[in-house]
Amino acid sequence: MSETFNALVIDLVDGKPQAGFRALSLGDLPDHDVLVEIAFSGLNYKDGLAISGKGRIARRTPMVGGIDIAGTVVESRSPLWKAGDRVLVNGFGLSETEWGGYSRFQRLKPEWLMTLLPAGPADVS
């Protein structure tokens, strides 16, 4: 897969955090064991501070913003996860010290992921 995709990347410009869209490739992503195609990443107060430059959330740059990810495993070097698994991750330094969810793809450490179960009927008991 050699295509490029857009990500919201935070950089330091004149000593201040500034976010903007940038084309990335899979080779640009961190070298973690599980590649996830991202379906959703929320926007919360901390992300707002990070991408607006009003807070110094990203402790290193460049940094892909977004502190949570929901998506599907595309590739895995870990026996814990296989292609097609639906997963969720929140925290673990995403958007601070680890690249986050404002991207089409992200590579993540296997121990960060949780299984995202398929939606079922509501329990009304």
pLDDT value of residue 122: 64
Predicted TM-score (pTM) of the model is 0.89
First to last CA, the chain: 47
**Measuring CA to CA, which residue among 78, 63, 79, 83 is closest to residue 32?**
78
Q: What is the pLDDT of residues 44-88, one digit of tens each?
A: 898 899 888 887 888 999 999 999 999 999 999 999 999 999 999
pLDDT value of residue 46: 87
Domains of the chain: 4-115 (3.90.180.10)
Query: What's the CA angle centered on 59, arms 20 and 27, to 5 degrees?
Result: 60
pLDDT value of residue 53: 81
Q: Would you state the structure tokens that stand for residue 42, as one six-digit string?
A: 């929320």
